[in-house]
Amino acid sequence: MDSLLFTVIILYILSTAGYLAFLFRQKERLNQAGFFLLFCGFILHTITILYGASLVGHLPVHNLSETLSIAGWAIAGLFALFQFKYNLKVLGVYAAPLSALITVAAALLSTEPVHADKILESYWLIFHIITIFLGDAAFALACGLGIIYLVQERTIKNKKHGFFFKRLPSLQLIDSTGYACVVVGFTMLTIGLFAGFIYAKTVWGRFWSWDPKEVWSGITWLLYAALLHGRASLGWRGRKAAIMAIIGFIVLMFTFFGVNFLLKGHHGVFTQL
């Protein structure tokens, strides 16, 4: 499993190199190479996770290493999907290294796979985790697009075009792709939360137990709900939407890491070292 994950990391890193080279040289072939490597990495990553699951008999999400690996996988996969739809090449410069970094962290923290308690074997749980992570990955991409948007907006407003103007896509394309990412992320998060409620009901007998992670997930959900509502009814787009996507992701990161390290609760088991 470790050597598999190692190969995945190499592929992600090579893909990052391809995308970086593309950013500087602007040769279509480099972009294709970057995408191909990332896609190979994603396929192999899928195999790695399935293989790990087959060894322990459930989805491997019981320590920080395993959850990070899933997060890296979700980002790579979702980016590939968005790439098919929007062909926003430059996003690879963000997505590929992000997947690589997260997967590297996963490998560094890697421990023996845990055979967890009975309570963790439920389809609702698997569904809960997969949708939540896909949602998180979509929000991660939205954050990256938000950053790209701010850079390109600054370039255009300051009228000094330099390095980025040519290399980054149009504001409208970045904005609408970012919006699509948030919509996907929000949908996934909503489904994931519901799956979590149902699972909680079956295990603890109640939907909601004021666990810190639950509370922060709720806050994240509200934040993105506000972003989508603002866009639909008040026309929050462009800069405002970009900044909100970035803030949303920071809160999300806190929900993912901070809550586990700083606050106690029943989600702690998923991110223990």
Partner 1 sequence: MQEIVLIGLNHNTAPIELRECIAFSEKDTLGALARLVDIPVIDEVMLLSTCNRVEVLLVSKNQPKAILETKNFLSRFNDLPIQRFDAALYALQGDAAVRHVFRVASSLDSMILGEPQILGQIKSAYQTATQSKTSGVILNRLLHRTFFVAKRVRSETGIGGNAVSISYAAIELGRKIFDSLKDKKILLIGAGEMAELAVEHLIRHKAVEIYVANRTFERGVNLAKKFNGKPIHFEEIFDTLEHVDIIISSTGSADFVIHKKQVKTAMKKRRNSPLFFIDIAVPRDIDPEINRINNSYVYDIDDLKGVIEENLEDRRKEAGKAERIIDEAVIRFREWYKNLDVIPTIVALRSKMEGIAGSELEKTLQTLRHLSEADREAMTRMTQAMINKIMHNPTRLLKSDSPHINKSVYLDFARRLFKLDE
**Given the rule CB under 8 A, which residues bind partner 1?**
152, 156-157, 159-162, 165-166, 169-173, 234-240
Q: How far is the CB of 27 from partner 1 (least distance, A)?
A: 11
Cα dihedral across residues 9, 15, 18, 23: positive or negative: negative
Nearer to partner 1, 118 or 157 (CB): 157
Nearer to partner 1, 162 or 205 (CB): 162
Q: How far is the CB of 237 from partner 1 (least distance, A)?
A: 5
Nearer to partner 1, 238 or 268 (CB): 238
Please, is 167 exposed, middle or buried when counting C-beta atoms within 10 Å of its C-beta (0-12, 13-18, 19+)?
middle
Q: How far is the CB of 82 from partner 1 (least distance, A)?
A: 16
| Residue 270 CB coordination number (10 Å) | 19
Nearer to partner 1, 239 or 266 (CB): 239
Q: Which amino acid is at 257?
A: F
Nearer to partner 1, 57 or 235 (CB): 235
Alpha helices in 205-264 (DSSP H): 212-229, 239-253, 259-262
Q: How far is the CB of 89 from partner 1 (least distance, A)?
A: 14
Q: What is the SS3 assignment for 2?
A: helix
The token pair that represents 83 in the structure block:
């790439």
Alpha helices in the chain (DSSP H): 2-25, 28-56, 64-86, 92-108, 123-158, 162-167, 171-204, 212-229, 239-253, 259-262
Q: How far is the CB of 178 from partner 1 (least distance, A)?
A: 13
Contact, 106 vs 65, CB < 8 A?
yes
Interhelix angle 92-108/28-56, nearest 10 degrees: 30
Q: How far is the CB of 238 from partner 1 (least distance, A)?
A: 5
Nearer to partner 1, 160 or 229 (CB): 160
